[in-house]
């Protein structure tokens, strides 16, 4: 390689490329080490199983809550399903905190999922408020079910946050795979040239 071929330390194009790579790394959800821990952890599988189960219970519970609000019937079934949904929420929050500890070293509020965890606290608070109203006999059935709707609205927003992050993680993985493939191709092209120069 001649001096002309080497990237200048003050070359604007090289500087811009380096800055872009730095920003890309700072925006990455996972470091390579965190990605390995994520892929190897059993808690990743557990979260993947619990999340769709919770969503299924949510859909059934939401239908029962709306039915009771509209007709005044089925309050017991609505309460039972909301309690079940809340148990799923508590379970997935505990297992999710363990997952964050394994992957990021913090039980909650890791940088990659900080705002998702913050909003999760609101979701938990609203679900817990419903349980307090139910078992403490506070408020009317209608007031309790309105709290249920608020809790479910917050849950949907929070689920959307996590789905968006999962999509970002998938795209990040695809970019890294393409980058590694490009590097591999470049190395295979450069190797014969280096051997020819050495000869």
The Cα 9–Cα 15 span in angstroms is 7
The Cα 53–Cα 102 span in angstroms is 23
Task: At 175, list the tokens.
Answer: 């970019």
Higher confidence at residue 162 or residue 189?
162
pTM given for the model: 0.73
Provide the pLDDT for residue 2: 45
Q: Where are the domains of the chain?
A: 31-169
pLDDT range class, residue 116, cuts 50, 70, 90: very high
Model pLDDT for residues 68-101, shown as the tens digit of each residue: 999 999 999 999 999 999 999 999 999 999 999 9
Rounded to an integer, the average pLDDT of 122-149 is: 96
155 pLDDT higher than 80: yes
């Amino acid at each position: 390689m001649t001096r002309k071929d080497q990237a200048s330390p003050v070359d604007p194009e090289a500087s811009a490329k380096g800055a872009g790579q730095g920003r890309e790394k700072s925006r990455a959800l996972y470091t390579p080490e965190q990605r390995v821990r994520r892929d190897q952890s059993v808690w990743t599988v557990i979260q993947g199983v619990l999340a769709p189960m919770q969503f299924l219970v949510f859909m059934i519970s939401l239908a029962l809550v709306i039915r009771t609000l509209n007709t005044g019937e089925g309050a017991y079934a609505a309460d039972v399903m909301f309690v079940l949904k809340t148990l799923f929420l508590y379970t997935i929050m505990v297992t999710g905190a363990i997952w964050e500890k394994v992957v990021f070293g913090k039980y909650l509020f890791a940088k990659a999922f900080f705002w998702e965890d913050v909003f999760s606290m609101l979701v938990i608070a609203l679900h817990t408020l419903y349980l307090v109203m139910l078992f403490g006999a506070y408020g009317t059935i209608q007031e309790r079910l309105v709290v249920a709707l608020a809790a479910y609205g917050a849950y949907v927003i929070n689920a959307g946050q996590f789905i968006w992050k999962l999509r970002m993680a998938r795209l990040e993985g695809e970019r890294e795979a393409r980058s590694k493939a490009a590097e591999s191709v470049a190395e295979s092209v450069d190797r014969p040239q280096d051997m020819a120069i050495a000869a």
